Structure 1
Amino acid sequence: MKQKISWIMVCSLLLSLLIPGAGYAAKSDDIIKTALKYRGAPYVFGAPMKYAPRAFDCSSFTKYVFARNGIKLPRTASAQSKRGKYIPTSRLKKGDLLFFRVPGRGIGHVGIYAGGNRMIHTYGKGGVKVSKINGYWRSHYLGAKRVI
């Protein structure tokens, strides 16, 4: 069994070296799958981590989803925005964190880029959902970070 695991690890490492981004694509797909499992979970402003996965606010949601995939994030959207590498909008990939301005609070919202100009996030009625990044969200968009 140990030989099989070692062989799989070697093959995975070689694949990630030969195909740039192969490891990122797999991890980002896992993050999207994890996030979608919680679709419909209620939104609660300021929800503490102890509410997860029964309810979330935007940053407890991203913190929880990324933690389930081995990536530690701080608790707030503002603190999360200080992690990772800045990504221009033209280079967004699934799994990137998206940050938005909330009037009177600066960086006050975070979501996960899902591809196709969509994000998975939680905000208001309906809780965790997939939304198009247009209208309100486009006009309040501040930037993106890659933490994978």
Structure 2
Amino acid sequence: MAKHRRQNVKTVRRIAGTTAVAAVATLAGPAAANAAELVVPNTNYSFNVQGLENVPNINQVPNIDKYVPSLSAQNKTSLQASVQNEPTNNYATEKAAKPAATSAGQKVVEAVYSKIGSPYGWGSVGPSAFDCSGLTSWAYAQAGKAIPRTSQAQSSQGTPVAISDLQPGDIVAYYGGASHVGIYVGNGKIVDSLNSGSTVAERSLNYMPIHSAVRF
């Protein structure tokens, strides 16, 4: 019998404590049209408290969802809404998923620029010295393309391109019989390995008489 009374005392204390919380919440929070249910854990007791859900920061109280079940549902809905409304950087995501592609012509240009200052060498195909067609064939190889070795073969086997339609990476042949070639790098410039005693350098497109231009 004494044990039963002790349990009742504990239950009454829980109810009293929870009722006190409800009373404070009612006074602290502004009135609301709908009452929130305040539950006493481990009992069948509950209370409807006006304005309970409007008490500032009440949803941050530890285990508040055990006392006010409606706040648990409210927090879940708020979290889902914040995730759905969070802005996403689509550009950055797409960019990471699809890296910007570098054209074959641009790779050729980057390769030939990397050899500016290298010496001319008759019959040389790099990587430290070059003749004119050795430089062009080496640059194309860096872009994963195999092209003919000599200037005449390059000018005759590539796809002809009008000078007005040149794109970076195209090969420009010079002099009668296409005896010299260079890589068009854009902005009216070429890079070539001209002759003995010179180095790989950037020059004007019209520095020499143009024979033809081709693209591979």
TM-score tier by shorter-chain length is: 0.7 to 0.9
Q: Paired residue for 2:211?
A: 142
Counterpart among 155, 162, 175 of residue 101 in structure 1: 175
Confirm whether residue 120 of structure 1 aligns to residue 212 of structure 2. no
Identity of aligned residues (%): 29
In 1, are the aligned partners of 2:107 and 2:142 still within 8 Å (CA)? no
Give the Cα separation in 1 of the matches to 2:143 and 2:154: 16
Q: Paired residue for 2:120?
A: 43
DSSP 3-state at the match of 1:94: coil
- Structure of higher CA gyration radius: 2
Shift, 1:11, TM fit:
5.2
Shift, 1:54, TM fit:
1.1
**Structure 1 stretches lacking a partner, 5+ long:** 1-7, 16-22
DSSP 3-state at the match of 2:175: strand
DSSP 3-state at the match of 1:34: helix
In 1, are the aligned partners of 2:184 and 2:205 still within 8 Å (CA)? no
DSSP 3-state at the match of 2:103: helix
Confirm whether residue 90 of structure 1 aligns to residue 161 of structure 2. no
In 1, are the aligned partners of 2:166 and 2:184 still within 8 Å (CA)? yes
Give the Cα separation in 1 of the matches to 2:181 and 2:215: 13
What amino acid is the match of 2:149?
A: R
Runs (4+) of structure 1 exceeding 6 A deviation are none
What amino acid is the match of 1:61?
A: L
What amino acid is the match of 2:145?
A: I
**Structure 2 stretches lacking a partner, 5+ long:** 1-94
Q: Paired residue for 2:201?
A: 129
Give the Cα separation in 2 of the matches to 1:79 and 1:34: 21
Highest RCO, 1 vs 2 (Cα 8 Å, sep ≥ 6): 1
Aligned length: 121
Larger strand proportion of the pair: 1
In 1, are the aligned partners of 2:173 and 2:181 still within 8 Å (CA)? yes
What amino acid is the match of 2:162?
A: P
Compute the TM-score of the two structures, normalised by the length of structure 1: 0.73
Confirm whether residue 76 of structure 1 aligns to residue 150 of structure 2. yes
Give the Cα separation in 2 of the matches to 1:36 and 1:65: 9
What amino acid is the match of 1:67?
A: A
What amino acid is the match of 1:30?
A: K
Compute the TM-score of the two structures, normalised by the length of structure 2: 0.51
Give the Cα separation in 1 of the matches to 2:213 and 2:119: 25
What amino acid is the match of 1:116?
A: N
